[in-house]
Structure 1
Amino acid sequence: ATPNVNDATNTIDLKLTGVTDDAHNPGVGSVSSANYTVDTRPADTTGPTTATIALTNSALKAGQTTTVTITFTEPVSDLDVSDFVVPNGSLSAPTANADRTVWTSTFTPTATPNVNDATNTIDLKLTGVTDDAHNPGVGSVSSANYTVDTRPADTIGPTTATVALANSALTAGQTTTVTITFTEPISGLDVGDFVVPNGSLSTPAANADRTVWTSTFTPTATPNVNDATNTID
C-alpha cells in the first residue's frame, strides 16, 4: 500500500481485453473488486495543538451579545465552558458542526453595569479537549482583543470645568498661561467660547486626551488700564 494514504473508497479494476482464452479469443469489458480502504498514516499520538477563536463583534456594549467561533485543525471532543477563561463575560455551552472541527458559543458581557475594559482576550486551555485518537490537546490559545463597555449611554454634555491663570496679577507687558480643565474629553473649544475682560486669549490647544486645554492671556494693549475685578468666563 502507498505510504501516508487515507482513502476509504477504492476498487481494483481489471481490463479483460488484456487476456485471451485457450481459443485465443480476447476478453471483453472489465470487472472490479469490492471496495477496500487504505490508511497508512503514522499512528496519531499528538492531540490538538492549535485553534482559532474569533468574535463576530469585538466591541461589546450594554445589552449586546456576540457569537464566538472556535476552529480546530482536526475533530475534537469534550469542549465545554470550563476550558475557557473569559474576562468581563461568559460563554454558553459550545456546540459543534457535523465533523466537530468548528464550535460556536454565545459571549455575554458581565451583567454588572459600568464595566469599561479595553483589553480582553478569551483564552482556551487545549488540555481540556481530545482528538479522535483520544489524545489530549497541548498548550493554550487566545482570541484577538475585544472591548467591553457596559456603562449607561452618555447623553449629558460637559457641565463643569476649571479655568486657572498661572499669574492672576498682570502688569504692563506681561502675559500668562490659562489652563482649562474638563472632567471628560471635549471638542470644539475656541476663543469664541470665552468672555475675556481687559484682554484676549490665543487659540486653545488640547492635551492628548482633550481634557486639558491651554491658552495665552494677553492684557488689552490700551495703556492705563487698571481693573482689579475681572474673570474669564
Structure 2
Amino acid sequence: VNDTTNTISVNLAGVTDTAGNAGVSTATSANYTVDTRPADTTGPTATIILADSALTVGETTTVTIRFSEPVTGFDASDVVLTNANGTLGTLTANADGKTWTATFTPTANVNDTTNTISVNLTGVTDTAGNAGVGTASSSNYTVDTRPADTTGPTATITLADSALTVGETTTVTIRFNEPVTGFANDDIVLTDANGTLSTLTPNADRTVWTATFT
C-alpha cells in the first residue's frame, strides 16, 4: 500500500462512563502515512509495437511505446531509428505516464525485410529515480516502398572494338536496366551484324551479358 492519508477512530456513542453517560460522535487519531510497497530498485522496461508490420507505398503506421511503469525524461531523442528505414512523428503521451504513440512514415523507394525501432532506456527514469538499462526494440517489420513496376526492361549493346579488321574479334556487352529472365542467344538479331556471336555469359544479378563477336 502507498497512502498518505490514514486515521484510526473510535465510535464514542457505544461507550459509557461509570456514571452512565454515553460518549458523543467519534474520536480520531492524527493522520499517518502508510507505504508498505517493496523498495523500487529497478528501472523501467518498454515494449514497442507497430500497428502494421508490412509497410508499402503510401502507407504509414502508428507506433506505440509502452513502459512497464510511469516514467520521466522520455522524449524523441531516446528513440533510435538507425535500422528503422523511416521517420517518426511527434510523440503523444497518454495520461497514465507509461504510454506514448507516434506516426511512423517509411522511407520512399526502399525494399528491406529487416527493420526495427528501438528506445534507449538509459535516458528514461521511473518515479523512484531508477534509470532504465540497455535498449528495447520492436519486432521486425518489412518496408517495400518501391513504385509499382509496370514497364519492361531496356538494354544497351556495346562493342569493345568498333573497327574490326582481319583476324580480330571483340567483346560484346549487353546491359539491361534491371535483372531479366528468358534472355538467350536466340534473342540476338545478327541480320545486319556481318558476324557471329558466341554463347552469352550472364553476371550474377542477370543484368549484364557478354559474348565474343567474330
**What TM-score do the two structures reach when normalised by structure 1?**
0.58
Give the counterpart of 1:27 among 18, 23, 29.
Answer: 23
Name the CA distance, whole Å, in 2 between partners of 1:149 and 1:163: 27
Among residues 111, 115, 119, which one is paired with 2:114 in the alignment?
Answer: 119
2:182 matched to which residue of 1?
162
Distance 2:53 2:31 in 1: 49
Question: Aligned partners of 2:131 and 2:55: how far apart in 1?
Answer: 33
Query: Whole-Å Cα distance in 1 between the matches of residues 151 and 19 of structure 2?
Result: 104
Aligned residues: 157
The residue number in structure 2 matching 1:202 is: none
Give distance in 2, aligned partners of 1:35 and 1:99: 28
- Determine the C-alpha separation between the residues in 2 that align with 1:154 and 1:54: 31
Letter in 1 for 2:95: A
Alpha-carbon separation, structure 2, partners of 1:151 and 1:163: 25
Aligned to 2:104: 107
Q: Which amino acid aligns with 1:11?
A: T
Q: Does 1:90 align with 2:87?
A: yes
With over 3 angstroms needed to count, the CA separation of the structure-2 counterparts of 1:158 and 1:18, relative to structure 1, is farther
CA displacement at 1:92 relative to structure 2:
2.4
Whether the 8 Å CA contact 1:62–1:149 is kept in 2: the answer is yes
- 2:93 paired with 1:73: no
Structure 2 counterpart of 1:137: 132
Is the alpha carbon distance of 1:161 and 1:80 closer, same or farther for their aligned partners in structure 2, counting shifts above 3 Å? same
Task: Give deviations 1:1-60, integer Å, cap 9, x for gaps.
Answer: xxxx21244332322244212422333554555654311334433321x21111111111
Q: What do residues 102-140 of structure 1 show as CA deviations (whole Å, max 9, x unaligned)?
A: 111221112xx3201112121212111111122211122
User: Sequence identity of aligned pairs in percent?
Assistant: 68
> How far apart, in 2, do the equivalents of 1:124 and 1:147 lie?
19
Report the alpha carbon displacement of residue 163 of structure 1 after superposing the two structures with TM: 7.7
- Whether the 8 Å CA contact 1:44–1:133 is kept in 2: the answer is yes
SS, match of residue 72 in structure 2: coil
Q: Give the secondary-structure state (helix, strand or coil) at the position aligned to 1:162.
A: coil
Deviations 1:147-183 (A, max 9, x none): 111101244589975287xxxxxxxxxxxxxxxxxxx
| Equivalent residue letter for 1:19 | V
For structure 2, the residue ranges without an aligned partner over 5 or more in a row are 155-179, 185-214
Pairs within 5 Å for 1:1-233: 5-27=1-23, 30=26, 32-33=28-29, 36-48=32-44, 50-86=45-81, 87-110=84-107, 113-155=108-150, 161-162=181-182
How far apart are the structure 2 equivalents of 1:67 and 1:106? 5
1:168-209 residue CA offsets vs partner (Å, 9 max, x unmatched): xxxxxxxxxxxxxxxxxxxxxxxxxxxxxxxxxxxxxxxxxx
Indicate the RMSD between aligned Cα atoms, in angstroms. Answer: 2.8
